[in-house]
C-alpha cells in the first residue's frame, strides 16, 4: 500500500490555496518527497507525515519553485537532531546547487546527506520500494520519477505443505526460498504474490516518449498540467503540458488514475480543466494541498 | 502613520501556527520587509499587502530562517512582471548570497535589484521614511534596523496668513518654504509639525549597547525573544535574547510598545512569556502571524 500526500500542488508562484510543488509518498514507514518547493517544510508540519521519517528527496529540476524548500528542510532536520543519513537525488547540478545554498546560509547539519545526480534509468533502492529516474523534456536538465513498490510474495500455506509431506524445519525454509523439495514445487504451497503499486511523477515536461515508456502500466500517473488544452501552443513554448496531453498519456499507458498538479494560477475554474481531461481519461483527480490518497492493488481513493 | 504586518513570527523552525521571520511595514503606499524567511511570499499572498508594492527588503543576517524566502520572492516579482527597481539590503555577504542562490535556480528577473551591504549607521531613504542599520551582536555578521517616518510639516493656515497681510501668490510659497515674509515668520502661519513614527527591529541578538542606542525614544520596539528568562544562560550561549531582556531595553529606551517575535517553539504557554515581560514593561504584544498594527503619534493598536 502506498499513501500519496500532496503537500504543494501549485505552479511557479504560490497562491492563497496552493503551495509550491512537493509530493510525499509513504510506504510502510519510509517517506520520500518528489520535489521540495519553498514552504514544503511548513506544509509537512501541518500534515500528518513526520519530516523526520523522510528517507529520500527527489528533485525534478532546479527551477526555484521545485527546489527552494530543500535547503531549509535539510537545516530543520539538522536542528531537530536528525542522525539518519538522507538521500537527495536530482538532475545534473543538484549536488553543487545544494552545497552552494547551504554554504550561503550556515546551519548545523550533523547527519550525512548522500547527494546523487541521476541519469535516465538510474534507480535508488529503499526498504520496500525503489525509485527510478527518467529523463523528461523541459528547458533545463530535468527528470521524472517512478516509485515502484516491491511485489509482496505470496503467503506460505503451512497446512498444505504438511499435508504434502514437507516436514517442519529446514525444508520449510528451503521451499519458501524457492527451492523444490522432494518433488513439491514452491508454487504448490505458496499463495500468489501481491502486485506492488507504482506511481509515476512527470515533473515539468512536454509530452515525451520516455515519460510514456516510464508510465506504462503505472497505477497512478501524477502529471503536470500547467495549461488547459486551449493554450496548447503556450504550453509547448514554455516546455509544459496541457491537461489533455496528460490524459492522453494516462490512456495510452493504461494507468488506473491520473492526478493533475502544477496547474497555472490563471485558471480559476478547475472544473473546466477536469471536464476537458475526463473526455479522454475518466479517472482523473485534481488534488488539493494536503489531500491524501491511499493506493492499493484494489483501490485508489482520497482519504 | 505606519502599518506593521507580521507575516512570520516564528524562530528557526516553522510550526503549524508560525511562519519564518518576516515583518512588513507600510507607509502610505511603499512597503518594506524586515527579513524574508522561507514561505514569506506565500504569507504575502494570504495577507492584504501586495508583494508588488515592496520597495525595499532588509535582511538582518544570513541564517536560513531569515533569508531563504528572498530568492523565491525575487523570482515571483520577476514572473509577475515587475519593472520597478528593488532595494535589497543586508550585512556583509548579502550580495554574494543573493547572486549565488539566484544562479543556482534560474529564473526571469527583468528588473534592477540594487543590493547594498550595510554597515552600522548606514541609511537608505524612501519616499516618506528612512531605514537605517545598526550592528547588533549575533554569531555571524548581523544587523538590526530602524524605520523612521519623516516628520510631517504643520499645515499652512491660509486664513491666518491673509489676515496678517500675506497676499495669495508667491509669498504663500515663500512662507511655506520657511522664509520670513514682511516680518511674518513661518511659525506664525504654520501648524505644528507632526511627529513621524519610528519602529526598531532588533534582529537576532544578545542585548547590546548599539541596540539600546538605536531604540531610544522609538515608538515601537520589535524585539526577538527566543528564550524565556528562565533560560537566560541558554540565550547567551546561542547569542539570543530573553523576553525580560527585551522588556528592559524597551523600558530603558522609553518605547511606547514592545512586540515580541522569534519565540522558540519550546514554549507552548505564551501567557507565561507575556507575564514575565509585563512585570518590567507594560505595553507588550506577542503578535500572531498575519496580525496587523496601526501606529500613529496618538495610538498603537492591533487592527
A109 CB neighbour count, 10 Å cutoff: 17
| Chain A nearest C-alpha distance from B185 (Å) | 55
B236/B144 same-domain check: yes
Binned at pLDDT 50, 70 and 90, residue A106 comes out as confident
3-state secondary structure of A107: coil
- Does A63 contact chain B (CB < 8 Å)? yes
A32/A168 same-domain check: no
Cell digits of residue B162: 491673509
Q: Which residue has the cell 524567511?
A: B37
| Predicted confidence (pLDDT) per residue in B162-179, tens digit | 999 888 889 888 888 888
Catalytic (active site) residue A269: no
Cell digits of residue B13: 523552525
Instruction: Name every residue whose Cβ is closer than 8 Å to that of residue B117 and which is 6 or more positions away in sequence.
Output: B89, B90, B91, B92, B93, B94, B95
Query: Which residue in A has a C-alpha nearest to residue B98's C-alpha?
Result: A104
Binned at pLDDT 50, 70 and 90, residue A246 comes out as very high
Within 13 Å and on the Cβ side, how many CA atoms surround A27?
23
d(CA B260, CA B272): 13
A271/A294 same-domain check: yes
Binned at pLDDT 50, 70 and 90, residue A25 comes out as very high
Supply the pLDDT for residue B177. 85
Instruction: Name every residue whose Cβ is closer than 8 Å to that of residue B163 and which is 6 or more positions away in sequence.
Output: none
B269/B202 same-domain check: yes
Q: Which residue has the cell 554574494?
A: B96
Tell whether the model's pLDDT for residue A132 goes beyond 90. Answer: yes
| Cβ separation B64–A71 shorter than 8 A | yes
| Residue B275 vs residues B227, B259, B261, B269, B286: alpha-carbon distances, Å | 14, 14, 15, 10, 11
3-state secondary structure of B49: coil
- Does A67 contact chain B (CB < 8 Å)? yes
Last residue in a domain, options A138, A171, A189 = A189
Cell digits of residue B254: 522609553
| Chain A nearest C-alpha distance from B64 (Å) | 5
| Predicted confidence (pLDDT) per residue in B114-165, tens digit | 999 999 999 999 999 999 999 999 999 999 999 999 998 888 888 988 999 8
A64/A13 same-domain check: yes
Interface of A with B in 185-244 (CB under 8 A): none
Interface of A with B in 133-192 (CB under 8 A): 140
| Predicted confidence (pLDDT) per residue in B17-40, tens digit | 999 999 999 999 899 999 999 999
Question: Contact at 8 Å (CB) between A239 and A205?
Answer: yes
| Cβ separation B46–A16 shorter than 8 A | yes
| Cβ separation B106–A72 shorter than 8 A | no
Question: Contact at 8 Å (CB) between A295 and A265?
Answer: no
B55/B204 same-domain check: yes
A6/A82 same-domain check: yes
- Does A80 contact chain B (CB < 8 Å)? yes
Tell whether the model's pLDDT for residue B223 goes beyond 90. Answer: yes
Last residue in a domain, options A173, A189, A205 = A189
ipTM: 0.89
Tell me the residue range of the domain where B260 lies. 2-152+194-302
A184/A242 same-domain check: no
Binned at pLDDT 50, 70 and 90, residue B270 comes out as very high
In this complex, which of A68, A69, A104 lies closest to B62 when CB atoms are compared?
Answer: A104
Lowest-confidence pick of A257-266, B64-73, B165-174? B165-174
- Residue B123: which CATH number? 3.60.15.10
B167/B294 same-domain check: no
B144/B239 same-domain check: yes
B30/B118 same-domain check: yes
| Chain A nearest C-alpha distance from B228 (Å) | 19
Give chain B's domain count: 2
In this complex, which of A42, A96, A106 lies closest to B39 when CB atoms are compared?
Answer: A42
| Cβ separation A68–B64 shorter than 8 A | no
Query: Which residue in A has a C-alpha nearest to residue B73's C-alpha?
Result: A13
B169/B34 same-domain check: no
d(CA B143, CA B204): 8
Question: Which one of A17, A35, A65, A289 is the catalytic residue?
Answer: A65
Q: Mean pLDDT for chain B?
A: 95
Amino acid at each position: 500500500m502506498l499513501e500519496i500526500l500532496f503537500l504543494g500542488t501549485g505552479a511557479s508562484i504560490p497562491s492563497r490555496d496552493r503551495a509550491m510543488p512537493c509530493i510525499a509518498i509513504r510506504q510502510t514507514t519510509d517517506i520520500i518527497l518528489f520535489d521540495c518547493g519553498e514552504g514544503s517544510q511548513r506544509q509537512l508540519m501541518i500534515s500528518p507525515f513526520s519530516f523526520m521519517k523522510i528517507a529520500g528527496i527527489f528533485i525534478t529540476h532546479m527551477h526555484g519553485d521545485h527546489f527552494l524548500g530543500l535547503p531549509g528542510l535539510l537545516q530543520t532536520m539538522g536542528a531537530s537532531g536528525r542522525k539518519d543519513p538522507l538521500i537527495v537525488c536530482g538532475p545534473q547540478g543538484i549536488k553543487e546547487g545544494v552545497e552552494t545554498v547551504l554554504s550561503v546560509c550556515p546551519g548545523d547539519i550533523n547527519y550525512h546527506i548522500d547527494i546523487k545526480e541521476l541519469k535516465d534509468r538510474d534507480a535508488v533502492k529503499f526498504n520496500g520500494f525503489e525509485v527510478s529516474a527518467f529523463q523528461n523534456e523541459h528547458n533545463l536538465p530535468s527528470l521524472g520519477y517512478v516509485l515502484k513498490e516491491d511485489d509482496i510474495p505470496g503467503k506460505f500455506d503451512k497446512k498444505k505443505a504438511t499435508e504434502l509431506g514437507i516436514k517442519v524445519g529446514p525444508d520449510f525454509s528451503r521451499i519458501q526460498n524457492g527451492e523444490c523439495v522432494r518433488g513439491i514445487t514452491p508454487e504448490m504451497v505458496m499463495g500468489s504474490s501481491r502486485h506492488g503499486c507504482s506511481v509515476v511523477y512527470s515533473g515539468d515536461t512536454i509530452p515525451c516518449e520516455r515519460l510514456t515508456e516510464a508510465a506504462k502500466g503505472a497505477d497512478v500517473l501524477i502529471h503536470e498540467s500547467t495549461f488547459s488544452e486551449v493554450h496548447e501552443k503556450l504550453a509547448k513554448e514554455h516546455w509544459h503540458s496541457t491537461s489533455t496531453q496528460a490524459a492522453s498519456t494516462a490512456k495510452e499507458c493504461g494507468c488506473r488514475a491520473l492526478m493533475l498538479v502544477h496547474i497555472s494560477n490563471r485558471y480559476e475554474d478547475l472544473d473546466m480543466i477536469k471536464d476537458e481531461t475526463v473526455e479522454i481519461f475518466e479517472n482523473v483527480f485534481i488534488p488539493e494541498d494536503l489531500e491524501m490518497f491511499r493506493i492499493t492493488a484494489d483501490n485508489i481513493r482520497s482519504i
